[in-house]
Structures are given as structure tokens and as C-alpha cells.
């Protein structure tokens, strides 16, 4: 299964409540979601099981429509959503745990097949690190 997953983790020097809110409040999420050079327009954000998150990512090479469906929301500890197949299907599973130095985020993206992930794995891993950099700046005011 590891050959069809991307794992990203980071400890952010902020409370778990604050970090979880940055993932689940659309006004905060729109500010950091996406790799460097991308902005977002959120069209729909229904934070509930089976709720829809529709957005357009605006990048240097065009616009990318995205639709996600929330599957599990456990306040302050866990978030799971399916990214539907406009580009690639994946299941996102994000855990938030308290640490002495802040909040540890573990973000797993599980694709259907290793073959689908292989050509984009390096891009996804780098993009996730850029996401986490922006999230860290939002939550702490520093990079």
C-alpha cells in the first residue's frame, strides 16, 4: 500500500485547535491550500460527513477544478476526505496530535494504484511541503 501513498508530516508550533481550524475553516483554508504560485476560489464548502468541497485552483499554467467529499470529521483530531477524479482520485487522511512543541500533523494521500501515483509522486510530495510551509506561516506568523 505504501507504493500508492504520499506521507507528509510536520509539527507546527500552535495549538491543535488553531491548526485544525486552519484545515476546516474555509476563510483560513483558502489562504494556504495549494502549492506555491497557486490561489483558490472556493465555490462550496460543507464541513459535514458527505459534505462537498468544490473549488478551483488557479495556477501558473491554468485553472484546475476540484471536488472533494468529506468522509470523517473528528474535531481537533482527524479529518478525512475523498478527492474525486477531475484530475486524480485520492483519499486524504489527516491526523492532528498534541505535542509539547505544538501540533503534529500526519497527512496521508492514498491513490487507487501505484501506477497512477508514480508519475506525480515527487510533485505531490513537494506541493504538500509547500502547503505545510504556508499553513505553518498562517498558524504561527513565521516560516
| Per-residue pLDDT tens over the stretch 95-106 | 999 999 999 999
Total of domains in the chain? 1
Give the CATH number, domain containing residue 12.
3.30.530.20
Instruction: Find the mean pLDDT for residues 5-12.
Output: 97
**Among residues 70, 94, 81, 91, which one has the least CA distance to residue 16?**
94
- Please, what is the average pLDDT of the chain? 95
Q: Is the pLDDT of residue 141 over 90?
A: no
Instruction: Find the mean pLDDT for residues 101-124.
Output: 95
Domain housing 63: 2-140
54 Cβ neighbours under 8 A, 6+ residues apart: 42, 43, 44, 45, 65, 66, 67, 68
Instruction: Find the mean pLDDT for residues 102-123.
Output: 95
Q: Is the pLDDT of residue 131 over 90?
A: yes
- Is the sign of the CA dihedral 138, 92, 87, 129 positive or negative? positive
Model confidence, pTM: 0.94
Amino acid at each position: 500500500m505504501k507504493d500508492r501513498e504520499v506521507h507528509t508530516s510536520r509539527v507546527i508550533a500552535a495549538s491543535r485547535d488553531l491548526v485544525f481550524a486552519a484545515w476546516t475553516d474555509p476563510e483560513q483554508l483558502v489562504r494556504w491550500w495549494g502549492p506555491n504560485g497557486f490561489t483558490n476560489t472556493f465555490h462550496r464548502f460543507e464541513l459535514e460527513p458527505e459534505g462537498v468541497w468544490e473549488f478551483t485552483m488557479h495556477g501558473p499554467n491554468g485553472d484546475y477544478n476540484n471536488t472533494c467529499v468529506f468522509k470523517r470529521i473528528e474535531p481537533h483530531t482527524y479529518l478525512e476526505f475523498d478527492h474525486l477524479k477531475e484530475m486524480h482520485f485520492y483519499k486524504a487522511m489527516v491526523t492532528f496530535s498534541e505535542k509539547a512543541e505544538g501540533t503534529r500533523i500526519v497527512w496521508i494521500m492514498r491513490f487507487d494504484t501505484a501506477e497512477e501515483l508514480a508519475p506525480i509522486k515527487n510533485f505531490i510530495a513537494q506541493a504538500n511541503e509547500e502547503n505545510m510551509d504556508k499553513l505553518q506561516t498562517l498558524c504561527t506568523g513565521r516560516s
